[in-house]
Amino acid sequence: MNLLEIKNLKIRFPGFTPVRHVSLAVKEGEFVGLVGDSGSGKSTVGMAVLRLLHHARVSGQIFFKRQDLLRLSEEEIRSVRGRRIAMIFQEPMTSLNPLLTAGKQIEESLCRRYGTAQKEKVFDLLRLVELTDVTRIYKAYPHELSGGQRQRVMIAMALAGNPDLLIADEPTTALDVCVQAQILTLLKTIQQKLGLAVLFITHDLDIIRARADRVYVMRYGKVVSTRLLEKKETVSVRSFLPVGAKPVLSARHLSVCYGSVQALKNISFDLYPGRTTALIGESGSGKSSAAGALVRLIPATGKIMFNGQDFLSLSGSSLRAARARVQLIFQDAGSSLNPRLSVADLIREGLDVHHPRADIKKRVVDVLKAVGLNTKLLNRYPHELSGGQKTRIALARGLILEPAVLILDEVTASLDVRTQRQIITLLVELQRQLKLAYLFISHDLKLIRAIADDVIILKDGCVVEQGPVQKILTAPQHPYTQMLLAASGL
């Protein structure tokens, strides 16, 4: 029997219609995938089921246990939300309350469902989502948890209401490949154990290919197929390293400590003009610590040489000048952009600090075009941009300073397959034109295999393997590298 049945759903906002005549069904105990590019309307469908689109005109029918949710009063739909239908959102860090511990937030969910909450019931939910050290996690605030732990807490909160249907909206997007596999396996296990139905919304078909019972494919607001989408395309960019080539940046015995915890332990590598070195590892492996140390955002020991200068010993104007040449592009472009600044002001901000110049307006226009964006966007603000546009703006902010090195920290992680391909193609072309050195941090080994020249495998802050990407990913020697490849389906 269909637990959820959507018929001829149409959703209109002022000026555009993101969902057009969508029909789909989820049976009791079924794991159904809803797949599509960014902007295809898939998340809007999920939000519509729980009537969370307050400024939209919604028509059609959404039946849950043969009851049309669109006809319920506000009081009646509140009795459905979180109790009979629960939702897990994409980014737990923004969904969780930073002022409350994980335990207190799960207790809130229990109180809404049962009117009371017992600490032992919270512990049971934490164990159900396969968290260990539940006492510590109960007392921990969101910032004290890893990405995988935060996502498990979100799942525990959703399960607190004992729902019949779980809507998971891109719950693994920002996680590394191993944690992605763990969360997906967990959801499948919980679904089977509790008899839940799951509607899993994602842009990445590969991660649910072996887990979903059925898949609906959306494009331009419509369900276009129940067949599988094409696999992710990649761009091969192998570059030749001339004999005697000198690195633009070298790290030797680089280490980072947070109090008594050593996050990065004596790693060494070189970055060359026109070449890409990939840095791979699970959450907590030290990837982002390495990125922060290379641009002096995080204190580090060891040696970093940039164009013959000891980067760690620089200060004042010398440090500012060197920093302009080594740019870090953060994972979540949206949160790294000041929401109060226009695109023009965001891009020119670096020049205002480092290189005030008369032709600044022309430079802004030129770099905007270089990243493939229309100048009509100059007066827009971050909330008016798509994910791919935000990533291009973040790149423009770095490129306007004419860097020699770009450190790219999971820049494609939250993008759909088509937008990922566009960004990678752009990066390849920019590297070819400007001879940039890339340190590409990612958990997507399929992407790394296609675009990187060299690869560094990190585990617990240590390098376990490093060398040419073809050698390391084709014939891995370390069990950890072998495990990463297996988790990626390579």
Q: Coil, strand or helix: which one is 110?
A: helix
Query: Which residues make Cβ contacts (< 8 Å) with residue 419, sequence separation at least 6?
Result: 37, 38, 386, 387, 388, 391, 412
Residue among 476, 418, 415 at smallest CA distance from 449: 476
pLDDT for 232 equals: 42
Torsion angles phi and psi, residue 375, rounded to 5: -65, -15
Q: Is a pLDDT exceeding 90 seen at residue 247?
A: yes
Q: How confident is the model at residue 241 (pLDDT cuts 50, 70, 90)?
A: low
What span, in angstroms and rounded, lies between the C-alpha atoms of 468 and 130?
37
Query: Which residues make Cβ contacts (< 8 Å) with residue 162, sequence separation at least 6?
Result: 83, 113
Q: Is a pLDDT exceeding 90 seen at residue 11?
A: yes
pLDDT, one tens digit per residue, over 195-209 is: 899 999 988 777 777
The reported pTM is 0.64
Q: Is a pLDDT exceeding 90 seen at residue 70?
A: yes
What span, in angstroms and rounded, lies between the C-alpha atoms of 485 and 488?
5
User: Residue 91's beta-bridge partner residues?
Assistant: none
Mapped to the 3 state alphabet, what secondary structure does 16-66 carry? EEEEEEEEEEEECCCEEEEEECCCCCHHHHHHHHCCCCCCCEEEEEEEECC
pLDDT, one tens digit per residue, over 127-140 is: 998 888 899 999 99
**Exposed/middle/buried for 3, CB within 10 Å: 0-12, 13-18, 19+?**
buried
> Amino acid letter at 328?
L
Percent of the chain with pLDDT over 90: 46
pLDDT for 403 equals: 94
Tokens 């798509």 -> residue: 386
Report, as an integer, the average pLDDT of 334-344. Answer: 88
What span, in angstroms and rounded, lies between the C-alpha atoms of 200 and 214?
10
Torsion angles phi and psi, residue 308, rounded to 5: 85, -5
Domains of the chain: 2-225 (3.40.50.300), 249-487 (3.40.50.300)
Report, as an integer, the average pLDDT of 16-40. Answer: 89
Structure tokens given for 173: 């997007």
Q: How confident is the model at residue 227 (pLDDT cuts 50, 70, 90)?
A: low
Report, as an integer, the average pLDDT of 151-177. Answer: 85
pLDDT for 358 equals: 66
pLDDT for 243 equals: 62
pLDDT for 234 equals: 43
Mean pLDDT value across the chain: 87
**Exposed/middle/buried for 6, CB within 10 Å: 0-12, 13-18, 19+?**
buried
Report, as an integer, the average pLDDT of 103-128. Answer: 86
Q: How confident is the model at residue 415 (pLDDT cuts 50, 70, 90)?
A: confident
Find the largest Cα–Cα distance for the chain: 73
Q: How confident is the model at residue 58 (pLDDT cuts 50, 70, 90)?
A: very high
> Amino acid letter at 203?
H
pLDDT for 72 equals: 93
DSSP character string of 344-364: HHHHHHHHHHH---TTHHHHH
User: Within 13 Å, how many C-alpha atoms sit on residue 323's CB side?
Assistant: 19
